[in-house]
Structure 1
Amino acid sequence: MPRQLRPELEHEFARSPDLGYEVSSDVGFVRCLSHGFPTPLARWHYHDEYELHLITATSGKVFVGDWIGPFAPGQLVLTGPRLPHNWVSLDMPDGGVEQRDLVIQFQHEPLSQAAELIPELKEIFPLLERARNGIEFFGMADKAETHWHHVKNSRGVRRLSAFCDFMADLASCNDYRLLSNAQMQSEDDDQSTDQIHAIVSRITDNLSDQHSAAALAAELSMTESRFSRFFRKATGNTFTDFVNRVRISRACQLLMDTDQQITHICYEVGFNNVANFNRRFLEIKGMTPSEFRKQSLNRFRGAD
């Protein structure tokens, strides 16, 4: 049988109350969920909603996009729409655990539409932008659990108020890290945003090309030093680091979703030699490409 490589898309019709899901017609666009492990809900999957995920028991490996790392009780992660994820417990007692995950799911569109009339909601949009890559928050476990119960136990306007209070605390939290690939930050004006998006699109669409900061600076009528400052402000990375991170991110996707040889992937994503590819991969991911591929196979565990 062919090996499963891609994440499963979670559809609304699969969200049965028997599995712990709240009915959207009863609670609105903010939905709470709690579950133990093992469970059919724990699998390598993605969906259209944001998902805020608090671990309350067990430890193991977490998979978010191209991120592989450890988790333990107290881990709090926000994943963006269609970002694949799974938590695999490795220290379960016999019979599993009754509660491991406290989850909140919510959609983007209601917030986007409401922000047109309620500008205060835009305060959380930088948070939602970062969530495209997955965000792990630190030092928030106790507060997050309290927030979750406030949301869970509320309905109507009170639930919306409790949810907004939770989001405001997350938006103001400065102790976090982004998990999956390179991140673009918001720019101050539309022209800058358009320029950065054009540059990033060119890089991501043509990874095998040799991209030059000097050439891009000239296209924008900037000096190379000014372009470097501009690019770092917008992405949080130097130009070279950003290109390497995007290439490694694409390599991770190929390592996870295909059976291509590592040497072939190296050249496909734009590296000129395998030694440099392995070195950059180790710097960014903390493991070699072959170790990453081996560990990534564990992302399918959890539904047994």
Structure 2
Amino acid sequence: MCPRVIASTPKFLMFDLQKVNETEHMIFGADYIVVAPRTAGCTLHLASTHYRLKVGQLVLLAPFNPFRLSLLSPGRQGKADCDVLHFRLNALGQTFVDSVQFKAIKQMLDDSRSGLLFDDPHSEAVRQYIEPMENTFDFIQVLNLLGLLNHLSAKQPLRCLINNCVEISNSKRAEDRVQMALKYIDQHLGEPISVAKVADHLHMADSTFSRFFHANMGTTFRQYLIEQRVRQAARFLVTTDWSISHIGTEVGFSSLSNFNAKFKGLLKATPREYRAKHIDMRKGIDTSRSVAGQVTKQFYDNAS
């Protein structure tokens, strides 16, 4: 297997295939998880119950389903062996995930909140997708993942492992929290925003929110905030006649030098160069309605 791109790191965007390590505590994974035993002796502890998995069986879990694995020695053959595949849908794009072609897979993933157990007597059909998987950025790895999901979506699960999903396993709740975080960032973009402020808004601990945001967005909170500020700055450079320093302040950068550096780092041009390249888009700006920014809005709000 190639050097791995580990889950919950900036480079991990879609999936991470890894050998599982036995743990004493429940894991609250922020990704979809496929558990595929290679040998006998693998026991899945899910919520308050446990299931002894057989070779050829496979379990699909939605984000935030608490689980752990016990790997008992099957006789004298050594420690039990099991593959665990973490994956997320962000990198595929929402348009693709919501498409008709993806509908059966999407339904299966929604159902996986209850923990789906598949029993495939022809397990080589699953292995043909899992075996070639390597944690690289080659496009064939995307096809392997989609092939596996398509194969499973055409099968009837042997059973659902959880009758009543615990609250934390509700992926809809996770999606709602993500949207709350993004909305808060968007509404306070020009203000000093910190992990602590957004975490408090969501009633989460700072460290928990950081891991949660990274797992669901595929990027760190700080990097996402910078990207949103630069994106908004680019709009203002084209649609207003504000000075560059004013725009930097408007979108929340503490200094002009910091604004220039972050802007160039993402768009490969300084704000001044970017505005010059898009000069044709600014025709009629003198007669167009001014865009009310956050600094201007705050001035009038305080004056009233």
Short-chain TM bin: 0.3 to 0.5
Q: Normalised by the size of structure 1, how large is the TM-score?
A: 0.46
Flag the structure with larger Rg. 2
Report the TM-score when normalising by structure 2.
0.46
Larger RCO, structures 1/2 (Cα 8 Å, 6+ apart): 1
